[in-house]
With several copies, the nearest count.
Chain A
Amino acid sequence: MKTAVVTFPASNCDRDMFDALEKITGTKPYAIWHQDTEMPDVDLIALPGGFSFGDYLRCGAMAARSPAMELVMAHANRGGNVIGICNGFQVLTEMGLLPGVLMRNRSLKFVCKNVNLKVENNTSTFTNAYQRNQNIEIPVAHHDGNYFAAPNVLKKLESNKQVAFRYVDDNNEPTEGANPNGSQNNIAGITNKAGNILGMMPHPERFIEEVQGGTDGRGFFESIINSLK
């Protein structure tokens, strides 16, 4: 599987994403700089976490307008796979590739901890290696992960089964207490309608080796590999 990771000024999970992709796919990803004007032919483009452009103005706003994003847009429009993790998710919403926005956390504080997620469906490109309704543990680390969309948009997301992951408690229930940031419907990650673009706040790339505290992030990458077979 051929992949590319886009780095923006002050991306800081780009290396983590790079390593995770290399470890799991066995192939080194291409490194794309935000000002690049050429994109190799790849199966997956990853927009990593971090604080692109300091998260100044709005998270992901300046990154979304980088030259390389036109290439990402073209790739996505051709049906190519794109993932945005954390800051990458914010970039995808700023680009309009995914609906809604990520607002400041309800607590107004940065939150770094391991959360439980429910895998809402296991038929998507990004979730097929998990069981349906599987409860997985993945870290979050963000200041602006509070997912918001207009009521009609939210409704469509739900009815189209575009919600990929939800914050849940130990009993797999999307409770208030399990929600680390105030997201509507406890949304942690969504896909576009066509299912080739995914954005999520949690960091699967941080949970791929036992020593990191867990390996539940692997399934995410393995799903993508499966779907390309």
Chain B
Amino acid sequence: MKARVHITLKNGVLDPQGKAIQHALGALGFSGVEDVRQGKYIELDLLESDPTAIRENVEEMCKKLLSNMVIENYTIDIE
């Protein structure tokens, strides 16, 4: 099965990448872009097929490796 993980910066944490993208879009002539935030998107293919087990497992992966809990949040979707 597939798990999809979104990792985003916590509220209030500066996002230099998002800021730079917003700026670049403006320079390219796109108007009305109020805010841009950039995060990571990770797709995992897993052997496991029980969604509850997957969620638990991926939750653990997020905590241990995929996300930086000090500044990031994560959400997990299971296919």
Contact = CB atoms under 8 A, between A and B. Distances in A.
A53 B64 contact: no
B4 to A, nearest CB: 16
A157 interface: no
Contacts of A24: none
A37 B24 CA distance: 18
A57 B71 contact: no
A148 B20 contact: no
Contacts of B65: 57, 61-62, 65
Interface string B6-45: 0000001111110011001001100000000010100000
A108 B16 contact: yes
Contacts, number: 53
A101 B9 CA distance: 12
Interface on chain A toward B: helix, strand, loop, or mixed SS? loop
Contact of A148 (B21, B64, B71): B71
B68 interface: yes
A28 B29 CA distance: 34
Interface in B21-79: 21, 24, 27-28, 38, 40, 64-66, 68, 70-71
B14 A103 contact: yes
B16 A56 contact: yes
Given A65-B65, A101-B71, A148-B71, A57 B13 contact: no
Of the candidates B15, B17, B20, B28, the one having the most CB atoms from chain A within 10 angstroms of its own CB is B20
A150 B69 CA distance: 13
B24 A104 contact: no
A146 interface: yes
Interface residues of B, number: 19
Contacts of A219: none
Nearest to A63: B24
A199 interface: no
B24 A62 contact: yes
B68 A54 contact: no
Given A65-B28, A148-B14, A108 B20 contact: yes
A148 B17 CA distance: 14
A182 B17 contact: no
B11 to A, nearest CB: 11
B41 to A, nearest CB: 12
